[in-house]
């Protein structure tokens, strides 16, 4: 039976504090579930930033960067689900106690000083994105003060290495995504080698390596790991290696911030539905429609990894992917609707789970 999986807990911190000799099968399943929640938590803020980029700027450098990272994270979510099912676990995704809410901390107590919020793309949002992905020892920037997501995955990998016999290959979903670069295929994790490769992809696409800021599993040549790509957006400068010092610095070519729709920051609990600041009927309808479809996506994903019939599991995964892409329309419509406070900001999606 899986241990508690609530989104707002310190479960990852607690798991990391347990000595290696106590990291049994339950520990590994618990950690894999927490990995699923971490990957899920990154998607809403990144999607809001990408969707907020105005039509004239779409297809530019910043949009392309966010687009590539979103697909990486979708792949990471699928790989994390495969990590859990291959050791006999069952993913939990469709539960309001588990689904990350915004603004709020990352699941498990990772980066406890960080509040993850939903808004349009701004320098502040790009800074927040980068702090989610921050390595413990980046090649450009100061060392992190808290346990990184990469360190957590390293601990999870060591638990797999200590007991490779726990890998069963059960309920593995497969999806080829050749258009999105190396490492982005959703592959079956039936051996220790496959598990090692999957965790390497997740860690290194997010954090790079100790030797380089580049993504070792890129969609395009020279693509940076997520942390450094987000820091470029924040600094509005390309990362370059100083030929004199050998240090990596954000002193390269300018990287202009694209034109964006001015989505405001979603308040705790979502946009008010009543009172003087309540949205009009059509806006409420869009908000509720978005939350309904998002919740259906999570239910389809959960059911896919609980399904013993491969064909049905694939159908459920396809349904989730199609519905996820359909969220862009209502999100963009919300970003075109002004908040009633006169701030000049607009609504945007809440990514709240609603029961069927």
Q: Which residues contact 124 (CB under 8 A, 6 or more apart)?
A: none
Cβ burial 15-44 (10 Å sphere, 16+ → b, else e): bbeeeeeebeeebbbbbbbbbbbbbbbbbb
11-261 has which fold? Ferritin (1.20.1260)
In order, the DSSP letters of 112-143 are: TT--B---SS-HHHHHHHHHHH--SS-SSSPP
2-11, pLDDT tens digit by residue? Answer: 444 555 678 8
- 139 pLDDT more than 90: no
What does the block give as tokens for 146? 């808290």
Give the alpha-carbon dihedral of 79, 83, 84, 88, to 10 degrees: 130
Instruction: Report the pLDDT averaged over residues 56-62.
Output: 75
Pairwise pLDDT comparison (11 vs 301), residue with the higher score: 301
Q: Is 186 helix (H, G, I), strand (E, B) or coil?
A: strand
Give the alpha-carbon dihedral of 156, 227, 90, 179, to 10 degrees: -120
319-344, pLDDT tens digit by residue? Answer: 999 999 999 999 999 999 999 989 99
Q: Give the CA distances from residue 99 to residues 32, 43, 262, 333, in Å, rounded to whole numbers and listed in that order.
A: 15, 12, 26, 24
165-201, pLDDT tens digit by residue? Answer: 999 999 999 998 766 666 788 999 999 999 999 999 9
59: left (phi over 0), alpha (psi -120 to 50) or beta: left
> Cα angle at 143 between 139 and 145, to 5 degrees?
155
Is the pTM here over 0.75, yes or no? yes
Lowest model confidence (mean pLDDT) among 203-207, 232-236, 301-305: 203-207
Handedness of CA 291, 117, 201, 2 (dihedral sign): negative
Distance between CA atoms of residues 276 and 353, nearest Å: 25
Domain-by-domain residue ranges, the chain? 11-261
What's the burial of 193, exposed, middle or buried (CB within 10 Å: 0-12/13-18/19+)?
Answer: exposed
72-120, pLDDT tens digit by residue? Answer: 999 999 999 999 999 999 999 999 989 999 999 999 888 888 999 999 9
3-state secondary structure 246-299: CCEECCCCECCCCCECCECCCCCCCCCCCCCCCCCHHHHHHHHHHHHHHHHHHH
Mean pLDDT of the chain: 90
Pairwise pLDDT comparison (356 vs 73), residue with the higher score: 73
């Amino acid at each position: 039976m899986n241990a508690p999986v609530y989104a707002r807990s310190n479960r990852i911190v607690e798991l990391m504090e347990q000595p290696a000799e106590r990291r049994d099968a339950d520990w590994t399943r618990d950690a894999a579930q927490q990995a699923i929640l971490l990957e899920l938590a990154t998607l809403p803020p990144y999607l809001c930033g990408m969707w907020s980029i105005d039509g004239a700027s779409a297809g530019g450098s910043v949009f392309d960067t966010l687009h590539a990272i979103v697909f990486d994270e979708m792949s990471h979510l699928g790989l994390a689900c495969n990590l859990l099912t291959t050791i006999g676990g069952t993913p939990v995704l469709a539960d309001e106690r588990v689904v990350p809410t915004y603004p709020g901390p990352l699941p498990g107590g990772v980066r406890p000083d960080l509040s993850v919020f939903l808004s349009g793309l701004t320098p502040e949002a790009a800074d927040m994105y980068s702090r989610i992905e921050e390595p413990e020892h980046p090649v450009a920037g100061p060392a992190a003060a808290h346990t990184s997501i990469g360190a957590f995955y390293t601990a999870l990998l060591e638990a797999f290495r200590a007991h490779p016999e726990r890998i069963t290959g059960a309920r593995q979903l497969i999806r080829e995504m050749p258009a999105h670069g190396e490492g982005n295929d959703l592959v079956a994790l039936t051996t220790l080698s496959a598990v090692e490769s999957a965790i390497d992809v997740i860690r290194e696409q997010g954090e790079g390596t100790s030797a380089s800021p580049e993504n070792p599993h890129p969609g395009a040549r020279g693509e940076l790991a997520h942390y450094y790509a987000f820091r470029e957006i924040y600094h509005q400068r390309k990362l370059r290696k100083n030929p004199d010092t050998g240090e990596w610095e954000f002193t390269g070519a300018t990287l202009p911030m694209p034109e964006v729709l001015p989505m405001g920051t979603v308040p705790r609990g979502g946009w008010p539905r009543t009172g003087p600041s309540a949205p009009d009927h059509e806006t409420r309808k869009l908000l509720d429609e978005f939350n309904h479809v998002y919740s259906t996506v999570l239910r389809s994903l959960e059911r896919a990894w609980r399904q013993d019939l491969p064909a049905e599991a694939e159908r459920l995964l396809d349904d989730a992917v199609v519905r996820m892409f359909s969220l862009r329309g209502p999100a963009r419509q919300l970003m075109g609707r002004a908040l009633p406070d006169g701030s000049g900001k607009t609504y945007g999606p809440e990514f709240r789970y609603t029961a069927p």
